[in-house]
């Protein structure tokens, strides 16, 4: 579904991502893991068009998307959530979900100001798209509430609905379980499984090993900006290079290979 070849980006002398060749398969859950500063978020930023790579290529469904701007990447079918919650707390849950949908509609500023027929049609479409996304994340009944009134888990679901309302084929989740308690984490895993069961493909960056090991079909491991391993959870958790990378990192010492053994610290 997604193929990156020799992908890299430099910030000054720092290779945040370096020569990464990898693929993400349709219908699967792919986790991207690695110690702090490994380049995981930067990798997501490259795929989603937030950063332009300094080398390499990105192909999605056979088409070159390497240099597309974010809204064009979204229009092709890749949407993402962010590490920190980026919902609008004062707006209703539905208004939040509709924001994601607006990137797919065609009305421009003039249409919006003049309330043209196209703008009104687009508004209705966005409302329907937003509601459909809320149904997918189990929040249809809360559509009219201010998003800030929801629990932490509810707000995470709003963030996912915002991404889903653009009707992506591939959903990128950046640390979806950050700040969630174990029960909320289990609920979130159920939601991700449901979405994938419905035909969505998911790639996620996550530090919580219980979630990664319990959920991922494929894992891509990054360290110092490079891909050091890939494979199933069982394969990567016994890969010597991966164990070495994690043992060498204070924050994650000894956590690899213990599926379901709790969380890798993000400190």
Ligand X SMILES: Nc1ncnc2c1ncn2[C@@H]1O[C@H](COP(=O)(O)OP(=O)(O)OP(=O)(O)O)[C@@H](O)[C@H]1O
Q: Would the CA dihedral through 252, 258, 262, 263 be positive or negative? A: positive
Q: Which is nearer to ligand X, 136 or 252 (CB)?
A: 252
Nearer to ligand X, 167 or 263 (CB): 263
The H-assigned helical ranges of the chain are: 40-47, 70-76, 93-102, 109-114, 117-136, 152-164, 182-197, 209-215, 233-237, 240-247
Angle formed by the axes of helices 93-102 and 152-164, to 10°?
Answer: 30
Cα–Cα distance between 115 and 103 in angstroms, integer? Answer: 17
Residue 249 binding ligand X, by CB under 6 A: no
Site string for ligand X, 36-75 (x = CB under 6 A): xxxxxxx---------------------------------
Least separation in angstroms between residue 25's CB and ligand X is 22
Segment contacting ligand X by CB under 6 A, of 9-17, 121-129, 188-196, 213-221: 9-17
Can you say whether the dihedral through the CA atoms of 178, 183, 189, 190 is positive or negative? Answer: negative
14 lines the binding site for ligand X (CB under 6 A): yes
Residue 173 beta carbon to ligand X: minimum distance, rounded to whole angstroms: 13
Least distance CB 205 / ligand X (angstroms): 6
How many binding residues for ligand X (CB under 6 A)?
Answer: 11
Counting contacts by CB under 6 A, is residue 34 touching ligand X?
Answer: yes
Nearest distance in Å: CB 36, ligand X? 4
* Interaction of residue 18 with ligand X, rule CB under 6 A: no
Residue 16 in the binding site for ligand X (CB under 6 A) = yes
**Does the footprint of ligand X cover residue 126 (CB under 6 A)?**
no
- Chain residues that interact with ligand X, rule: CB under 6 A: 11, 14, 16, 34, 36-42
């Amino acid at each position: 579904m997604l193929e990156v070849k020799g992908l890299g980006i430099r910030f000054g002398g720092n290779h945040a991502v370096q020569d990464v060749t990898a693929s993400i398969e349709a219908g699967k859950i792919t986790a991207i893991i690695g110690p702090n500063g490994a380049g995981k978020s930067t990798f997501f930023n490259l795929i989603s068009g937030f950063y332009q790579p300094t080398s390499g290529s990105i192909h999605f469904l056979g088409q070159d998307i390497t240099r597309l701007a974010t809204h064009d990447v979204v229009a092709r079918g890749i949407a993402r959530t962010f590490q920190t919650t980026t919902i609008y707390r004062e707006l209703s849950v539905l208004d939040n979900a509709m924001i994601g949908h607006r990137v797919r509609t065609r009305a421009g500023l003039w249409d919006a100001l003049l309330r043209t027929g196209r703008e009104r049609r687009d508004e209705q479409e966005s409302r329907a798209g937003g509601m459909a996304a809320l149904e997918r994340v189990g929040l249809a009944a809360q559509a009219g509430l201010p998003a800030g009134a929801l629990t932490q888990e509810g707000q995470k679901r709003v963030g996912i609905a915002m991404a889903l309302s653009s009707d992506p084929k591939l959903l990128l989740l950046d640390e979806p379980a950050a700040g969630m308690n174990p029960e909320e984490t289990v609920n979130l895993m159920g939601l991700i499984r449901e979405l994938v069961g419905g035909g969505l493909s998911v790639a996620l960056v996550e530090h919580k090993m219980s979630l990664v090991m319990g959920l991922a079909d494929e894992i891509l491991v990054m360290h110092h900006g490079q891909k050091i391993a890939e494979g199933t959870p069982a394969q990567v958790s016994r890969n010597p290079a991966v164990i070495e990378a994690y043992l060498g990192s204070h924050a994650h010492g000894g956590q690899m290979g213990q599926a379901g053994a709790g969380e890798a610290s993000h400190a």
